[in-house]
């Protein structure tokens, strides 16, 4: 993960162990901020459950996945690569269907946000009629115990959440936070490429906004996120969150501070931006700024 000096802790999912940080709390560490397994619905599209024996499809935007199909209870729907769409055929039977319950219906399917011409059915070996979308039989996942959960996404190469048009959902790449030891500074936060991360004191801790736009953002690129955030084990996941920038993109926060890289850091392990303008500072893993009096051993000056 870290090209400069990898942290001794391997990158872990959010559910992994994390050490308690010593630099306050993060007001923007929401339930949807750091979730490698359970994404949150961004729109209220869940409808009342239909009568037994009928099915209802809807669409929702799931964080990190985009638009997905859901059932009437808001459960994410999936497709199986070993099935067939032309012609429709299901290969998930027996133990498979215990983990991946097929969506079945004895009456015409109702839908919201889905082209009804894409909806069909296939008769399963036990005689039940399974709902299909663009020919693909659709399923829920037994471990998805609530709305907005998508634990089944890429459980294996054969399973993927399904879009309203019947395509496989392609999850956005995760944004990874790590740590590295930099001479003169000590342990600092890094991104997935090993680049040092910084805070900008003019943003204000917990302000919920970034004040670095335009030319500022070209020199200090914000660390953006379009999906999951994963962290090293020595980072308290409770400090990690996200805010929405003025342009609508989401930016990672740590300890309530929006975080940035520095365009003039030529390689992982450099921290030449530390102390720039007396407003930019490398970040410790606990979300605090590195002591302003410190200077990286490899600093070349020229702030």
Condensed to tens digits (0 to 9), the pLDDT of residues 224-260 reads 987 778 898 889 999 999 999 988 888 999 999 999 9
Could you tell me if 271 and 4 are in contact, meaning their C-beta atoms sit under 8 angstroms apart?
no
Q: Tell how far CA 200 is from the center of its chain.
A: 24
Could you tell me if 77 and 57 are in contact, meaning their C-beta atoms sit under 8 angstroms apart?
yes
Instruction: Give the model's pLDDT for residue 170.
Output: 79
Q: Is the pLDDT of residue 17 over 50?
A: no
Q: Count other Cβ atoms within 10 Å, centred on residue 91.
A: 12
Instruction: Give the model's pLDDT for residue 105.
Output: 93
Q: Which two tokens stand for residue 247?
A: 């342009």
Min mean pLDDT across 109-123, 174-188, 202-216, 221-235 is at 221-235
Q: Which two tokens stand for residue 129?
A: 């009629």
Per-residue pLDDT reduced to its tens digit, 120-158: 999 999 999 999 999 999 999 999 888 878 889 868 889
Cut 0.75: pTM above it: no
């Amino acid at each position: 993960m870290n090209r400069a000096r990898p942290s001794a802790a391997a990158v872990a999912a959010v559910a992994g162990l994390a050490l308690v940080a010593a630099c306050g709390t993060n007001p923007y560490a929401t339930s949807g901020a750091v979730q490698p397994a359970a994404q949150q619905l961004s729109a209220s599209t869940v409808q009342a459950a239909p009568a037994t024996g009928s099915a209802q499809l809807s669409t929702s935007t799931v964080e990190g996945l985009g638009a997905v199909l859901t059932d009437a209870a808001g459960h994410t729907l999936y497709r199986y690569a070993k099935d067939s769409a032309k012609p429709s055929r299901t290969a998930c039977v027996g133990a498979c269907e215990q983990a991946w319950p097929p969506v079945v219906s004895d009456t015409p399917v109702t839908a919201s946000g889905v082209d009804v011409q894409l909806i069909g059915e296939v008769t399963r070996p036990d005689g039940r009629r399974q709902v299909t979308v663009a020919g693909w039989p659709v399923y829920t996942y037994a471990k998805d115990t609530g709305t907005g959960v998508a634990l089944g996404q890429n459980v294996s190469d054969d399973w993927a959440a399904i879009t309203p048009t019947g395509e496989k959902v392609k999850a956005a790449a995760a944004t990874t936070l790590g740590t590295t030891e930099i001479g003169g500074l000590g342990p600092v936060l890094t991104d997935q490429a090993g680049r040092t991360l910084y805070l900008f004191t003019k943003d204000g801790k917990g302000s919920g906004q970034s004040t670095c736009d335009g030319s500022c953002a070209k020199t200090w690129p914000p660390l953006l996120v379009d999906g999951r955030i994963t962290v090293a084990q020595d980072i308290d996941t409770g400090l990690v969150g996200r805010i929405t920038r003025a342009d609508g993109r989401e930016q990672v926060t740590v300890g309530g501070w929006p975080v940035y890289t520095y365009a003039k850091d030529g390689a992982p392990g450099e921290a030449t931006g530390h102390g720039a303008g007396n407003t930019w500072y490398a970040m410790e893993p606990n979300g605090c700024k590195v002591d302003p009096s410190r200077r990286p051993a490899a600093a070349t000056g020229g702030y």
